[in-house]
Amino acid sequence: MTTLSIITTYGLGRNVQQTPEALFDLVKSAVRQAPTAFNNQTVRSIVLTGDAHEKLWDIVAKRLKQEVLDESAYQATLAKINASFKAGFGTVLFFTDTSIVKSFEENIPLYAENFQDWSEQGHGIAEYATWLALTEAGLGASLQHYNPLIDDEVAKDFDVPSTWRLRAQLVFGSIEAPAANKDFVEDNERFKHYSK
């Protein structure tokens, strides 16, 4: 059995063979096919390419300027944003439609306390499915979490419905530098197997 490795790639670029429309279709298919609890389909996404992609990372940089008090630390942060995220081809914004979560909580009270957790699980699956689809297309990606710092500005600038809650940003593009080595927790601390 062969497995396709999902690797966090920070050295991203714009040398992409696919059109923005083809990549939008790829994301739509991955998110659409990702399973969710009770098939409630709470995951929403917005795909940003071109100027919209750059605008997102300008929002992040501007917002972080308010949080980082030391100018040298901010410049280091800005350099990372520009080199690792803004330099990419696009970003997929992942959201939870909280109105769907709420409706399931109200309509199936026996499981009400679980629907938020199950929505997050659905996100993990949709994000992985999208990342895997991008990897299969020969692209690199990294998953970022600048929410909730950027939520208000993103909602305003990208016409996000009020019931959508930002959960993650998946940056993607051509692979311009190899991924760094990753440390792993020891298997015996992480996995168990029983056959009886």
Distance (Å) of CA 78 to CA 56, 58, 59, 106, 177: 13, 10, 11, 43, 19
Q: pLDDT value at position 3?
A: 56
Tokens for 73? Answer: 């630390």
- Pick the more confident residue, 182 or 141: 141
Q: What is the signed CA dihedral for 171, 127, 92, 76, rounded to 10 degrees?
A: -30
Residue 44, Cβ neighbours under 10 Å: how many?
20
Whether the pLDDT of residue 25 is over 90: the answer is yes
Cβ-based neighbours of 194, under 8 Å, separated by 6 or more: none
* Least confident residue range of 5-9, 70-74, 110-114, 142-146: 5-9
Q: pLDDT value at position 2?
A: 52
SS3 13: strand
pLDDT for 58-107, tens place per residue? 999 999 999 988 999 999 999 999 999 999 999 999 999 999 999 999 99
Distance (Å) of CA 135 to CA 6, 72, 182: 7, 35, 18
Share the mean pLDDT of the chain: 95
* Least confident residue range of 5-14, 36-45, 155-164: 5-14
Q: pLDDT value at position 33?
A: 97
Please state the rounded mean pLDDT for residues 126-155.
Answer: 97
Residue 140 burial (C-beta neighbours within 10 Å; 0-12, 13-18, 19+): buried
pLDDT for 174-195, tens place per residue? 999 988 888 899 999 999 999 9
Cβ-based neighbours of 162, under 8 Å, separated by 6 or more: 155
Please state the rounded mean pLDDT for residues 155-174.
Answer: 98
pTM: 0.94
pLDDT over 90, % of the chain: 92
Whether the pLDDT of residue 1 is over 80: the answer is no
Q: pLDDT value at position 4?
A: 62
DSSP-assigned letters across all residues of 123-186: HHHHHHHHHHHHHHTT-EEEEE--TTTTHHHHHHHTT--TTEEEEEEEEEEEE-SPPPP-----
